[in-house]
Amino acid sequence: MPPSTIPSPFPSVEVRSNPSKGRSLHVTTSFAPGDVILNAQPLICLPTLSHLSSRCSYCFELSSPRACTRCRSAYYCNAACQRSAWQSVHKLECKALQRVPAERRGQLPTPVRLLLQVLLVEDIQVGVDSLEGHVAARRVRPEWKDVELMAMAACSYAGKGVDEATVRKAAGQLCKIQTNAFNWTDEDFTEACVFIQPTLAMMNHSCLPNAMIQFIDGRIVLRAESKLEAGDEIEISYTDVTMPLPKRRHAIDSYMFKCRCLRCRDNLNIYQACSASSNLGLNSFSLSPEVSKVSQLPIITNLAISERVTTAVDELSDVVRSDEFNEGDIKLLTLRERFQACRDLVAVGAWAAPPVPQLLAAISNYFVNKENYAGALAIQSLIAIECTPYRYPAPFHPIRVKELVHLASLLSNTAPHTAGQMAQSSPSQLTGGGVNSKIQEAFREIDQASTYQMLLMLVKRLAPAGFGASFKLSLFASERLNELKQLPGREKELSLIERWGADPHSEWSKGFFQYAVVDPIHRLASLGEELVNLEFSR
């Protein structure tokens, strides 16, 4: 074994010492885009504080779990999960959590809960101690006092004492937790769990990642996002790579390094970053085959437009808060004001540049809340064609798969009665005029059931290999497909769809997919663009 190589418990990867990065993780064999490199059990995992009462603390399923009757700080979906958690960690954690004042139980910050388990469980402590945490550098930062306070609280509840040496060691362990923990987002892409896996913690960051992490059925699944050859370093993103450069830098500041990837070095906008991807060819079997021609867009070929987009995105990052689009009761006036703020981006067709995608999603949700599902579907189609593929070039990216499910769900709400429903449910100021009529006409010409069915079949095909039975989006698709089989009078359509499903890459299948799925979604997307420009550019 070369002296620079560190043993790994997974044969598909190896840890290497790196003179500039400390340590790095490399593949030992080749992987195609979408391949599962490895899957692992987390060393430690906890629901975040905001999700504590809605997710099982053992299997992490979203449900209506019941609190532990002793500590009232851990929640379980059933007795089996509670028994398993008790045997693994909770029998130690529960007693410690009972030392927390009653009014604060269930309110401990997630880092304190994680550190508490490290202090109580020897195997977890050994795993965390093997990690790096930049402790010395953190001690001179303003937030070090907060770290010490959280460490002191954890030591006290764990019954370890709060002398200086004990707290200092615990603070160092907390730094390692904060440096190496992964944040898992749920189906709505809000942070749901925090977990640590020592080998995967060796992966370094890039804003042009070649791999990604998914959390499936309690397992950490590492997938290749690009083609990897034996010996290649695995790089993931520690933050949302679609954010502008200043926000990305701020997001990774706590990791104590400066990203020097091509995207950061040259401040590439979202389209330029997309053009650097090696996954563009995979989009031939997706809703957006035109993404492969991104390098021909004026946003890239015209320097003035490119600089205009980059400048507008940077300016908007300080003016428009993306998080406000998550507010369920966001007002129509606010949406119009935000759309006006983004007019420079929209004018050059930069629909994928932030915060336009977040704004469009908020507009689509606004239509859903008004039960105008056809309008929502038109806007969502625009997002699926003009936004998401440029932000996440790999068709199997979980955000793009989730988007297929979203489109299918909206299609299920736009049955043949949609035309009448749309006219009745649209608020008077959002009737869309002639656009409404065009959308109604489009629905009359689309075989919605077939498009719906093929979208769901595509979801199943894009599930990680070996995880189709536990990947939630795939399970959802299977359930809906079984329901669809009960519809009468679709024998001809089903035979064509089955032929496509058996060999989706044949020339006939490509043409059928274009006709039944790509063309209808593109038509709705163009109407979505017309609708949003008409109603929100006032």
- Cα 12 from chain centre: 25
- Burial class from Cβ neighbours inside 10 Å (0-12, 13-18, 19+) for residue 499 reads middle
* pLDDT, tens digit only, all 538 positions of the chain: 444 677 789 999 999 988 878 889 999 999 999 999 999 999 999 999 988 999 999 988 888 999 999 999 999 999 999 999 999 999 999 999 999 998 888 889 999 999 999 999 999 999 999 998 777 667 767 788 999 999 999 999 999 999 999 999 999 999 999 889 988 776 555 568 999 999 999 999 999 999 999 988 888 999 999 999 999 999 999 989 999 999 999 989 888 889 999 999 999 999 999 999 999 999 999 999 999 999 999 999 999 999 999 999 988 887 777 667 766 667 888 899 999 999 999 999 999 999 999 999 999 999 998 899 999 999 999 999 999 999 999 999 999 999 999 999 999 988 654 334 434 444 434 555 688 889 989 988 999 999 999 999 999 999 999 998 888 899 999 999 998 888 888 899 999 999 999 999 999 999 999 999 999 999 999 999 999 999 887 6
Contact 65, 50 (CB under 8 A): no
Cα–Cα distance for residue pair 529/515, rounded to 1 Å: 21
Instruction: For the beta carbon of residue 297, count every other beta carbon within 10 angstroms.
Output: 21
The candidate with the shortest Cα–Cα distance to 267, out of 307, 236, 303, is: 307
Q: Which two tokens stand for residue 506?
A: 């044949």
Q: Which two tokens stand for residue 431?
A: 């009737």
> Quick one: pLDDT at residue 416?
53
Domain 5-41+197-238, CATH? 2.170.270.10
> Quick one: pLDDT at residue 4?
64
> Domain spans of the chain?
5-41+197-238, 45-179, 268-532
Per-residue exposure over 414-429, b if at least 16 CB sit within 10 Å of its own CB, e if not: beeebbebbeebbeee
- Burial class from Cβ neighbours inside 10 Å (0-12, 13-18, 19+) for residue 461 reads middle
Cα–Cα distance for residue pair 28/231, rounded to 1 Å: 6
Contact 99, 156 (CB under 8 A): yes
The candidate with the shortest Cα–Cα distance to 262, out of 250, 277, 247, is: 277
